[in-house]
């Protein structure tokens, strides 16, 4: 499934890249596309392997704040 999370605390494009990097390290994350300009991240993940809580915690461990957002339509 694919979901969007709002992120606060990013201050440049490399923050977004490091969030992608940390997220893609998690088992069950297929892709992470973080946008600094839009202060959000789009994550495609396997619900059987990773929970939204784990995603939010991972972002927090990287030093940013994340909140749950809306599900995205899958194509």
- 11 touches Cu ion by CB under 5 A: yes
Report if residue 12 touches Cu ion, rule: CB under 5 A.
Answer: yes
End-to-end CA distance of the chain: 10
In the bound state with Cu ion, the residue whose beta carbon lies nearer, of 12 and 75, is 12
With CB under 5 A, what is the number of residues at the site for Cu ion? 4
Backbone angle region of 24, left / alpha / beta, with phi > 0 → left and psi within -120 to 50 → alpha: alpha
Residue with Cβ nearer Cu ion (5 or 45): 5
**Least distance between Cu ion and beta carbon 74 (Å):** 30
């Amino acid at each position: 499934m694919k979901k969007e999370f709002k992120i606060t605390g990013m201050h440049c494009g490399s923050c977004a890249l490091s969030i992608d990097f940390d997220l893609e390290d998690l088992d069950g994350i297929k892709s992470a596309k973080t946008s600094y300009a839009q202060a959000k991240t789009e994550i495609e993940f396997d619900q059987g392997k990773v929970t939204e809580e784990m995603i939010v915690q991972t972002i927090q461990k990287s030093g940013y704040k994340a909140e749950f957002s809306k599900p995205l339509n899958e194509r």
